[in-house]
Structure formats: structure tokens, C-alpha cells
Amino acid sequence: MPQDRQHDRFGALKRAIRQCNVVITVGLYTASMPFAYGMFAVLCFLWRKDERRRAQRLQRVTAFAYRSMHRWLTWLRITRFDHRQPLSGLPSGPCVVIANHPTLMDITSITAVLGSGTTVVKPALYRRRMIGPLLVGAGHVEGPGADPISTGRVVDEVVRRLAWGMPAIIFPEGTRSPPGGFQRFGRLAFEVACRARVPLVSLTVRCEPVYLSKEVPLFRPAHPTPRLGLGVLAVDDPAVVDHDSRRLRQLAEERYHSWLRELVPPSDRAYDPAAEEPECQIRSKTV
Amino acid sequence: MSDQIEDRLKKLIVDTLALEDVDPASIETDAPLFGEGLGLDSIDALELALAIHKDFGVRTKENDEKNREYYYSVASLAQFIRDKQAEAAAADPA
């Protein structure tokens, strides 16, 4: 069909333009990185007197940077994301925010929307000499790594950040979600919500077509323009499950699996063991 | 004596972590506790470490690279407890 061929040609052209835009963006970001790094380091030093206020201010700076980045990416049609999209039902105070992790852009989009947030960072990244002090300054927490006992320190640190009034953003899968499925959820986020007695916000992240997943790298942008969207799946009060993090995890995990079942046709779904288990009997209360 | 620690540990795991459907006798001594084995997670490890401290008087140090080895199975955990108890006995012979 000639019309299809023309469509393909335009598709290939658009893809090539987008690829050029990605190269330009990476170049610009690499060139401006020393300046941005210097600015952040100076602010981190200037605001060093009060640990809590420094973290709150630096998180706002980070959120501003992420919003600017998403505006730029939208303008260049590399991805589409509007951080002003309303997320109804978000609690006004501190909360634990969990989300699926389909792309590397989910943390930037969630932070852009929330305006602040502490995260749990991999020890290998946290201990880098250049980045570590900035992560500490912005109130992020070093992850547990290989030692299971150090999880206690992580839980205490995140609970402390929540007491400062900031949300904690945790990906319970620990790594990016496989296409059309989930990794098994860890219990850290749920334990933190139960101990701090703050609401657990379950967010959904959709990126269609998928981009910056493990399968689709940076320099192979998807076509058509990937559209990034966030949604609130539920807000749970841990009191509903008597502050039992196991039950809270089960509740959240089943909710994500049923969301996925509604979203993805069975043929495209990854193996989902939860789909074979009986429905959870726990009832949730929206707070 | 040596099997006693393993048996006590199995009961401790079931009681502490409220594993309602698991019979302590069904836990294999050499099977991994985490991941594909009994399916425990890092928060379970933390609760277990506190229970071991309470029951056996053995403290698990944080940020010890060997913790992963110690907490691998009931057998490795029992060996860890035995070693620590022997160390404590050697340090305080009275």
C-alpha cells in the first residue's frame, strides 16, 4: 500500500529526528553537568547548618531540575510528560510512595510531581566520592546492600526522613519491572509505612511505548513518542492491616497484579504467580 | 547438643516470623532461608537477628560482609551461634 509506505517513511524520519534530539540532549547535559554539579555542591555547602532544611531545599531544587528536564524532553518530542497533571487523593503530609518501575524516568517524573522526596539509593552509587556527599545533603538514604541486617538502619533512616515531613519514594521491586510483569516486592517500603504510621501511596507508572527500560536503551528512542503517565492506584492506612508489613505488602502486590491484568492482554503478560493464588481477604481503607 | 541449636533455630524462625503454615521440622537444615528457599526477606533477617540475640545472647553486627553467609541456612546460622558462644566462653572463662 503506497499510503503505508509513506507512513513508514515518515515514521523512520521521525525516529531519526528523535535520535538526533537524544544525541543533542545528552551532549547538552554532559556539557552543562560540571556547572549543575558545582551549583548543587555550593548549595549543599551553604545550607549545611540545618540537615533537615538543607535536605528539603535540595529536594526542591532537584524537583525543579526534573521538571525542566521533562519540559525539554517534551519540547523535543523525545518523551511526553506533564508534571502538572493532577494526582487526586495524595495525602498532604509525609507518606511512603511506592510505584512500579518500568523505565528510568519514573523517579524523575514522580519527584517532579511530588516536588520533593527521599529515596533509597544503591550503596555502590551512594559511596561514590563525587555523588555521595550530594545524596547525603539531599537527604537520600543508603540502601542495605548485601548485608540483610543493615536493613534496620535503612528503615530507621527513612522513618527519620518521614518525621522531617518529606515523602519517601521506594520502588518495592528494587529494580526495573520486566515487560508486562513485576518482580517480587520487597518489604522495606511497607515496614517503613507501618513503623512511621504514615499512609502508603501506590502509584502506577505507564510509559507507552516503553523507553529507557532494560530492553530499550537511551540511544534507541521508541516510536511513536513515548507518553509517560502517573496515576494513584490506592492510598492505604497501615492501621487497616494492624501495622503488619507482610499483610500490607500482600495487599499492595495483589492490587498491582490486578491493575496489570486489566491493562495488559493475557498474551503479552509475563508469568504472574500471584494470578494463580486466591484473592486476598484483606479489605483496604482509603485515607 | 549440635542438633539442639538447629531445632531451636527452626522453632525460633517459625515463631518469630509467624510462619503459620510452616512446621519447624519441615525446614531443611541446609536449604537457603532467603529467596527461593524459605522465601524470607531482609526485614525477616532483621527480626530473626533480634530474636537470636534475645534467645542465644549472640549479637549480629551490622555492616558485616559475612552476614549473608551466616544467614544463608539454618546450618550456617547454627554454626555462627556456636562460634560466637565459643568466643564468648573463651573470653570469659569464669
pLDDT at A270 over 80: no
Confidence band of A41 (pLDDT split at 50, 70, 90): very high
ipTM of the complex: 0.75
CB contact under 8 A, B42 and A144: yes
CB contact under 8 A, A147 and B34: no
For residue A97, the SS3 value is strand
pLDDT at B10 over 90: yes
Give the model confidence (pLDDT) of A113-165 as tens digits.
999 999 999 889 999 999 999 999 999 999 887 777 888 899 999 999 999 99
Buried b (16+ CB within 10 A) or exposed e, A29-48: eeeeeeeeeeebeebbeebe
Tell me, what's the pLDDT at A114?
Answer: 93
Tell me, what's the pLDDT at A268?
Answer: 56
Q: Which residues contact A109 (CB under 8 A, 6 or more apart)?
A: A66, A70, A81, A83, A205, A228, A230
pLDDT at A283 over 50: no
Confidence band of A14 (pLDDT split at 50, 70, 90): confident
Which one has a higher pLDDT value, A13 or A242? A242
CB contact under 8 A, B62 and A245: no
Q: How far is CA A209 from CA A71, A110, B89, in A?
A: 19, 18, 63
| pTM score above 0.95 | no
- The residue to which cell 566520592 is assigned: A129
Nearest to A146 among B43, B61, B68 (CB): B68
Burial class (CB in 10 A: 0-12, 13-18, 19+), A285: exposed
